[in-house]
Amino acid sequence: MVFALFSNTLDLVAYVLSFASVLAVLGAFFWWSNRLGAKPQASRLLLLTKEESARLRSTDPVFLMHVAIVVGVGVSILIALLDPFWSFFPLLRIIFLIISLPLIAGLFAAFVWRLQRFNESKQAQKLLGTNSSFNNSSAYLQLVLILAILLTTSELVVSWFSTLTNADFILNIFRNSLVILYYAEPSINLIQYFDRPPSMIRVPFKLSDVMEGKLDASTVAVGVSKMSEFPQYEKLSFDSCVEIGACESACPATAAGRPLSPRIFVRKASLLGRQKGKDPDPFESIKEEELWSCVTCGACVQSCPVAVKHLDIVYDLRRNLVNTGKLDKDKSTLLQNLVQNQNPYGFNSSSRADWARDQGIDTISSNPNAEYLYWVGCISSFDQRAQSVAKALSKIMKQAGISFAILGSEEMCNGDPARRLGEEGRYQELAYQNIERLNSYKVRKIITSCPHCFNTIKNEYPAFGGNYEVIYHSQLISNLIRDGRIKLSQDKLNEISVTLHDACYASRYNSIFDEPRSALSAATKDLREMHRRKEKTFCCGAGGSNYWYKVPQQRTIASIRTEEALGTGAGTLATECPFCLSMFEDSMRVNANSKMSVKDLAEIVAEEMLADS
């Protein structure tokens, strides 16, 4: 009966080998799962499928091409396996062929994009001065991916011609062999860590354990000085890089001509770690300036189809640099200011609330029953321009009848600049001190107007005992407008044209997309979107503590984003982060063609707010 399905022995052999290659793909997956101690769970696979399906609404071409590749491989495998049985299910064959059409188009687009990335990757390697060994390895891996795309595309095309059955099987076997050799391990990393958010940072130790004598300080390992010291999930992460290049394409540091490519960075780590019989120092290949060039915006992590966690690796290596004292004057001054004055500026804490002196704003010590604590943040406390954001938000909250107070001189830096720089110890000191103070006032609800404060207090403080309901100011403002607690004037509704810059730590780290748009839509009918928006936003250049030091670059990251904003033709660039506000105002001042104003979302709403709302 089985032989009757094939016209000759050659067809049968080709089919058996093709079927065996499919089994080999599954076997490779389970082999890698066992080797890495990652038990395959159907629930994880279903959760990944659900998340990827939800992203199909995305207009991101790189993601859609990635989907075309993955689905194309799956469909081509099914077509090959079902080939002998098409005479029993002719309608099913037609359905598969129809499905293959958009996949062929997507694969062709992926092939063209891969050729473009291949050329651009060589330019990045030339800029960073990679050696011939790395260049050859990179070219080989990228060509393997291009070949896999070509084989899958050819297989789908051939499936339309029933007389070319053996060719279909042969293509299937070769492509499946590439999947086994190069993509089985990355698939494990994807399933294991696709939902690990960029806001999750590895905690190498807890300062409270050291202070309480539960942990010997001499045994605390901070940072990575040998490849073997990377935790297993980070090793799997950089070993899973198959040089797709989406990270490099999305990276603002690479775009600005800084000495960093996230693709090259993780591949260098992988090649170092694969040296047999050696445990090299990662800094044999990775340069300090690469690490300092990172703005921790998370674009690399968000764009990677195989869930490589570039930032975790950056943080562990930065910790090593801090631990060994490899800091320039600006970085050392930043940490010294955090130690001596509990803020990165080095100003006396007694001046923290000077901006609020004539605003009629209570401190939490004078009004401990306030429903909300407004965490002002260092930049809005000390920077004169950013203080207007704090004043605008306070005006909005008072107008809406919200009971709130500030810590005033008792507020300290949340610790984000120290942690992003790599000084975990100082970060934890600040975190514990802040948490102790917040808990002493029984604070439960916190409002912030800085996404870095928001992310730190909301996502990182719980690991150290600080559990609070944290609300971002764009969320609060949007809710107040929706509930009618504040009303905006309609006089300038048609006069104001606005484009929104999504802050990385609000959008990409915390998925705050709709709220700022909802609030701005109430203030203007002319809201213009930049091409890179929401989770695909482009950094302002201040993240990762870059605001406090300089790195070599061909142009500023802020200037690139400024040109994108100016390209919309809008009259106002709306921000939702005081650091973004500062970066873009500086960029606009040096741009001769700029007539665009820069305002925080809170400032725009406060200006349009009716007095009797």
List, for residues 552-587, the tens digit of each pLDDT value.
Answer: 999 999 999 999 999 999 999 999 999 999 999 999
The pLDDT value given to residue 41: 84
**Within a domain: 199:** no
CA neighbor of 426 nearest in space, from 318, 278, 540? 318
Q: Which domain holds residue 457?
A: 339-479
What pLDDT was estimated at residue 536?
A: 93
What are the residues whose beta carbons fall under 8 Å from the beta carbon of 81, sequence distance 6 or more? 18, 19, 22
What is the radius of gyration, based on Cα positions, of the chain?
Answer: 27
Domain end among 178, 193, 208: 193
As a whole-number percent, the residues of the chain with pLDDT over 70 amount to 98
CB 420: neighbour CB atoms within 10 A?
25
Torsion, Cα 277 140 189 457, to 10 degrees, reads 90
Domain match, 29 and 40 both:
yes
Distance CA 353, CA 80 (A): 70
Side by side, the strands of the sheet bearing 469-472 are: 404-405, 372-375, 445-448, 469-472
Digit-coded pLDDT (tens) for 388-422: 999 999 999 999 999 999 999 999 999 999 999 99
For 589, the token pair is: 């001042």
Total number of domains constituting the chain: 4
Do 62 and 16 reside in the same domain of the chain?
yes
Do 178 and 258 fall within a single domain?
no
Asked whether residue 7 is domain-assigned, the answer is yes
Residue 550: C-alpha distances to residues 450, 553, 584 (Å): 22, 9, 16
What are the contacts of 603-606 at 24+ separation with CB within 8 A?
603/388, 603/389, 603/392, 604/496, 604/498, 604/520, 604/523, 604/572, 604/574, 605/392, 605/396, 605/477, 605/481, 605/486, 605/488, 605/519, 605/522, 605/523, 606/392, 606/393, 606/395, 606/396
CATH of the domain at 271: 1.10.1060.10
Q: Mark whether 591 and 489 lie in a shared domain.
A: yes
494 and 365 part of one domain = no
What is the number of alpha carbons within 13 Å of residue 4 lying toward its C-beta? 2
- Average the pLDDT over 486-491 and give the result: 86
3-state secondary structure (DSSP) of residue 380: helix
Taking 80 as the threshold, does the pLDDT of residue 612 lie above it? no
Return the minimum-mean-pLDDT range out of 201-215, 255-269, 417-431, 499-513: 201-215
DSSP string over 81-105: HHGGGTTT-HHHHHHHHHHHHHHHH
Q: At what angle do helices 514-523 and 601-608 cross, to 10 degrees?
A: 30
Euclidean distance between CA atoms 246 and 266, whole angstroms: 13
Show the tokens assigned to 19.
Answer: 């079927």
Mean pLDDT of 322-334: 96
What pTM value is reported for the model? 0.93
Nearest alpha carbon to residue 83 among 180, 152, 12: 12
Has residue 9 been placed in a domain? Answer: yes
CA quadruple 494, 496, 499, 501: dihedral positive or negative? negative
> Domain boundary at 298, 323, 348, which?
323
Spatial CA neighbour of 16 closest among 180, 175, 184, 173: 173
Task: Determine which of 413-422, 543-552, 602-611 has the lowest per-residue pLDDT on average.
Answer: 602-611
Q: Give a yes or no: residue 486 inside a domain.
A: yes
Residue 215 lies in a domain: no
CATH number at residue 443: 3.40.50
Residue 1: the pLDDT is 45
240 plus 289 within the same structural domain: yes
How far apart are alpha carbons 349 and 432 in whole angstroms?
18
271 and 313 housed in the same domain: yes
**Which of the listed residues 290, 323, 356 is the one where a domain comes to its end?**
323
Helix (H) or strand (E) holding 473: helix 473-482
Q: Do 500 and 357 fall within a single domain?
A: no
CA distance 259 to 533: 25
Residues 343, 412: contact at Cβ < 8 Å? yes
* 436 and 491 inside one domain: no
Q: Is the pLDDT of residue 435 over 80?
A: yes
Q: Please tell me whether residues 492 and 464 are part of one structural domain.
A: no
What confidence category does residue 595 fall into, taking pLDDT thresholds of 50, 70 and 90? confident
In a domain, 209, yes or no: no
Distances (CA, A) of 261 to 118, 136, 601: 14, 17, 32
What tens digit of pLDDT does each residue of 347-362 get? 999 999 999 999 999 9
| Judgement on whether residues 415 and 313 belong to the same structural domain of the protein | no
Verify that 67 and 163 share a domain, yes or no. yes
**Does 188 fall in a domain?**
yes
Give a yes or no: residue 33 inside a domain.
yes
Give the per-residue SS3 of 211-279: HCCCCCHHHCCCCCCCHHHCCHHHHHHHHCCCCCCHHHHHCHHHHCCCCCCHHHHHHHHHHHHCCCCCC
